[in-house]
Chain A
Amino acid sequence: MIAHKFLRSGRIGPFSQFQWPEPGVWVHAPQDLVACRRGIHACRPGDLPWWLADELWEIELGGPVQPDEHKIIAPAGRLRAQIEAWTPACAQDYADACAWRAQERAVQALTRAGHPRDAHRLAACETLDDVLAATRQLAGDIPESRISLTMAGDGAFRALTGAPPTSAYIAAHAAMRLDGAAGYAAERAWQSQWLVERLGLDGRH
């Protein structure tokens, strides 16, 4: 099975600190598979937004693959090729896209709360700096939309300060604020699709 895996710079496992060998070299898990403890962990397309890191690799998994929430686990794996399109610039674009999604949620929140002029003002922002300033002001003026506005502002701030995973997290929670768990799931699915399309990944597996 072909999947994907995020690693820190230098092919380092973010949590295990495991130094992955050169592409093509098989790595075998020592014992029975246990999520987050033993096994080769990798991402299906829908898992990608949860595990962003410096490098993204295509990985071939060997043996029976065990599905888990937000991950899959296999007894063996080998890196195939680094996804070169996942660069710091691409990660920043992703962060920006997520921040704009959070802004859209705040616009929706204002509209639902009966503040169309403020919604229009926020929707008209042309930069994330503008979003940050507008949401901070509006959050103080419109208590019933304060949380959605604060989330949008935080999303913009985290994107501006270069934190893609955090922007994505905030966008998902901004969606959940409006539409519940289904909104959260839909937003994570949108984020996954953004990555699949932008990086040219195979979104089927």
Chain B
Amino acid sequence: MHNSAPPNNGHSPSEFDLPVDEVSCQHFVELVTEYFEGALSARTLSRVEEHLVMCDWCVTYVEQMRATIASLRELTDERSPEPPDSVVAALRSRRAGGA
């Protein structure tokens, strides 16, 4: 959907709208998931990379996102331990009493 659409497509016209084909910070934030998933079109990816050359803030944002993704990948699938039998029994007893 981002192939040929200008970066400000879908936004209200404003004095800062871009008559050239560029990605703004706001638009980059909207694209960041697709950026990390490698799902951007070549044209949009090129615009994103052009933006990252000159925008320190978005570079920082990318680094933060990359660190977050790396941290999440370290999480394991281990299930939480089962509660002790005494707790289960107490809960069942309470449930039975309230029924």
A100 within 8 A of B: no
Chief secondary structure at chain A's binding surface: mixed
* B33 → A minimal CB distance (Å): 17
Asked if A35 and B19 sit within 8 Å, CB to CB, the answer is no
B74 within 8 A of A: no
* A94 → B minimal CB distance (Å): 13
**Which A residues lie within 8 Å of B49 (CB)?**
14-15, 36
Asked if A181 and B46 sit within 8 Å, CB to CB, the answer is no
**Which B residues lie within 8 Å of A168 (CB)?**
54
- Taking residues whose C-beta sits less than 8 angstroms from the other chain, chain B's interface range is 10 to 19
* B18 → A minimal CB distance (Å): 8
**Which B residues lie within 8 Å of A70 (CB)?**
46, 50
Q: From B15, B20, B42, B53, give the contact of A52 (CB < 8 A).
A: B53
Q: Which residue of the partner chain B has the closest CB to A73?
A: B42
A176 to B53, CA, bound (A): 20
A51 to B53, CA, bound (A): 6
User: Number of contacting residues on A, CB 8 A?
Assistant: 24
A149 to B40, CA, bound (A): 35
A181 to B21, CA, bound (A): 10
Asked if B53 and A147 sit within 8 Å, CB to CB, the answer is no
**Which A residues lie within 8 Å of B55 (CB)?**
166
A36 to B56, CA, bound (A): 20
A163 within 8 A of B: yes
Q: Can you list 23 contacts pairing A with B, beta carbon distance less than 8 Å?
A: A15-B49, A15-B52, A34-B42, A35-B43, A36-B42, A36-B45, A36-B46, A36-B49, A52-B53, A52-B54, A53-B53, A69-B43, A70-B50, A71-B46, A147-B15, A163-B54, A165-B54, A166-B54, A166-B56, A176-B19, A181-B19, A181-B20, A184-B20
Given contacts A166-B55, A168-B54, 14 further A-B contacts (CB under 8 A): A14-B53, A15-B52, A35-B46, A36-B46, A37-B38, A37-B42, A51-B50, A52-B54, A69-B43, A147-B15, A163-B54, A166-B56, A176-B19, A181-B19
